[in-house]
Structures are given as structure tokens and as C-alpha cells.
Structure 1
Amino acid sequence: MLHIVNKSPFENTTLASCLRVVCKGGGGALLLIEDGVYAATKNSVAGNAVHDVMGDIQVYALWPDVEARGIQDRVLEGVKMVDYGGFVDLVVEHSNVQSWL
């Protein structure tokens, strides 16, 4: 399953809810888009939570959103950057997609 999070982890509990499901065996992949990309930042509570699940799932961030927020130099190692084409590829690769609102 592809889990998509677009809300800032600093203003919303969406990421925490998603990670609880992923940790209960939901597995799959996590794609961070829009303000959700802030969850991929080093030395943050949200970044630590994402880092903790990276052994179980693949974590992706939408590069244009990372770039638009100026956090290119603060992204966790191991987070894979994708462009819009990569976003589409991830959706096609996964039989189920869950957008966390």
C-alpha cells in the first residue's frame, strides 16, 4: 500500500496516525507531499518518527515540494526524492493508495 501524507506533522496528527497503521503491519511505502515533506527533516520529532519506520517501509518525498519549502539540505538520509512522474509511478506500482487527510 502507498500511504500519502500532505499535512505538516507540526500542525496536524495525520503523520502519527499513518505511522501507527504502518507499524501495525500495514507496510508498503510512504510518500510525503505538500507540507507533509516537513516530516522528512533531520533533527525533528517527526523526522525521528519517520526514520524509525524506514527499515520497514520505503519513504519518498516529492522533490518540488521539498525545494519549494527550502529544506533540501535538511532531508533525512534514505528518503528518496521523486518528481511528479515518480509520484505517478508510485501510484501505479501499488495496488492500494491511502491519502491521509
Structure 2
Amino acid sequence: MLHIISRLHCLDVLSRYVSAKDTLLLVEEAVYATNPKHRKHALLPSVKVKALEPDLAARGLESVCAPHIEVVDFAGFVDLTAEHSKSITW
């Protein structure tokens, strides 16, 4: 399943619903969690985590994004939705 996370507060409960096969895509304000120094970064589950590049750029976070988080553009976003038969937006 693809979990599209748009709000930081959703990370507080997300780990209860994520399985090892899932992928997280951080968008909008949730991209702040890509910074290892952000208080919500530790809440990211141990699954594939990706972040939307235009949202990172809009907030000036490209240089502080954790190295284990893959950055994707809009075409990558579309590819993720095609790869996963189900998705949920938080």
C-alpha cells in the first residue's frame, strides 16, 4: 500500500497501520519530517520513505533531507500510484 502523508500529526498513529511492504510518500507539510533534526523524523516507520521534491523545494529542505529518503518528482509520484494497487492519504 502507498501511504500519502500530507500532515505531520498523522505520523503519530501511522506506525500502527504500516506493513513492511508499504511505501510512504511525504507531501505538503509532512516533508518537514525528512529532516533528521525534526521531532517527527523519529516517528517515520522502517519502510520505504519517499518525499515529493517540489514540496521539499518550496520549504527549502532539499539540503537537510535524510539520505535514506528518496526524493521523487511528480512523474515519480504517478509511478508510485501505478506500482501500488491501493493507496491512502493521511
What residue ranges of structure 1 are gaps of 5+ in the alignment?
none
TM-score (norm 2): 0.90
SS at match of 1:21: coil
Q: What is residue 30 of structure 1 aligned with on the other side?
A: 24
Give CA-to-partner distance per residue, 1:25-58, whole Å, 9 cap, x none: 37410000011111111112211222xx23xx10
TM-score (norm 1): 0.81
Whole-Å separation in 2 of the counterparts to 1:45 and 1:27: 25
What residue ranges of structure 2 are gaps of 5+ in the alignment?
none
User: Identity over the aligned pairs, expressed in percent?
Assistant: 37
Moved over 2 A (4+): none
More helix by share: 1
Compute the RMSD of aligned alpha carbons. Answer: 1.4
Tell me if structure 1 keeps the 8 A contact 2:52–2:72: yes
Q: What is residue 16 of structure 2 aligned with on the other side?
A: 20
**AA at the equivalent of 2:63:** D
